[in-house]
Each structure stands twice: as structure tokens, then as C-alpha cells.
């Protein structure tokens, strides 16, 4: 136990502070360092991670195809079809990408409905 006393020049004010020494506390088994306890990692049921990813992607509105490769493909195809068209506005490329992703999403939705109708779980060739 420590005790401190302070006074001013006139000796009128006394302040005493008592500090307790910290005693080491016992650690519970939960607080033990992780190296001493071998815990097995919890595993999710098969398909849970895929369903969580599907829900996350359905909530988002971001584009899924990376922009740079899509733009390269658009410019390559447009150059092959008509070499005179060399410039594209950014809005036109974004509109093309949104339309392409929407088309692909609906295509895969219909393909999945056909697979479920044929009593299949996954899509195949």
C-alpha cells in the first residue's frame, strides 16, 4: 500500500492518495493463450457459404464483370464488326455492361429453372 501526501506552501492543504498493489489474478481456462488449447475450427454445412454469397450478391447493385476486360472486349468486337467506330463514351460502355449482365443473369435463371425441372441440382453442359 502506498500513501502520498501533498501540502501547499502554507501547509494548509493535505491530500492523501492510497494506491493498492495489484495482486495477480487467476486466469480462467478461457483466457489461456491459444497455443495451449487445441480447438477444432467450426465447419459450416455444405452449401451454406454459397447461399450466403448468393444473398449478398442479390442485395448488391454493383456490376460483377470487371470493367476493363469488358471494355476491351467491346472495343475488340466493335473494331471487328466496323473498324470506323473507334470511340465510345463512358455512359455507353456502362449501359452495355449493365445490359450484358442483366441478359446473363436472366439466361442463368432460366437455365436453372430448366435444370430443376429436369430434377437436376446443378447446371451442366
pLDDT score for 103? 98
Residues linked to residue 4 through DSSP beta bridges, in sequence order:
17
All three cell numbers of 27, joined, read: 486466469
Report the 10 Å Cβ neighbour count for 43.
7
Spatial distance between the Cα atoms of 97 and 64, rounded to a whole number of angstroms: 9
**Segments making up each domain of the chain, as ranges:** 64-118
pLDDT score for 44? 84
Spatial distance between the Cα atoms of 97 and 67, rounded to a whole number of angstroms: 8
- What CATH number was assigned to the domain covering residues 64-118? 1.10.20.10
pLDDT by residue, tens only, the chain of 125 residues = 455 555 566 665 555 556 566 666 666 666 666 666 788 888 889 889 999 999 999 999 999 999 999 999 999 999 999 999 889 999 999 999 999 999 999 999 999 999 999 999 888 87
Question: Global pTM?
Answer: 0.61
Spatial distance between the Cα atoms of 112 and 90, rounded to a whole number of angstroms: 33
Amino acid at each position: 500500500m502506498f500513501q502520498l501526501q501533498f501540502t501547499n506552501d502554507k501547509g494548509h492543504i493535505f491530500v492523501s492518495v492510497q494506491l493498492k498493489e495489484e495482486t495477480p489474478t487467476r486466469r480462467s481456462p478461457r483466457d489461456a493463450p491459444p497455443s495451449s488449447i487445441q480447438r477444432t475450427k467450426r465447419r459450416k454445412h455444405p452449401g451454406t457459404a454459397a447461399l450466403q454469397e448468393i444473398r449478398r450478391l442479390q442485395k448488391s447493385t454493383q456490376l460483377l464483370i470487371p470493367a476493363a476486360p469488358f471494355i476491351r472486349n467491346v472495343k475488340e468486337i466493335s473494331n471487328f464488326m466496323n473498324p470506323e467506330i473507334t470511340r465510345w463514351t463512358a455512359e455507353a460502355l456502362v449501359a452495355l455492361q449493365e445490359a450484358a449482365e442483366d441478359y446473363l443473369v436472366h439466361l442463368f435463371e432460366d437455365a436453372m429453372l430448366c435444370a430443376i425441372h429436369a430434377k437436376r441440382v446443378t447446371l451442366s453442359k
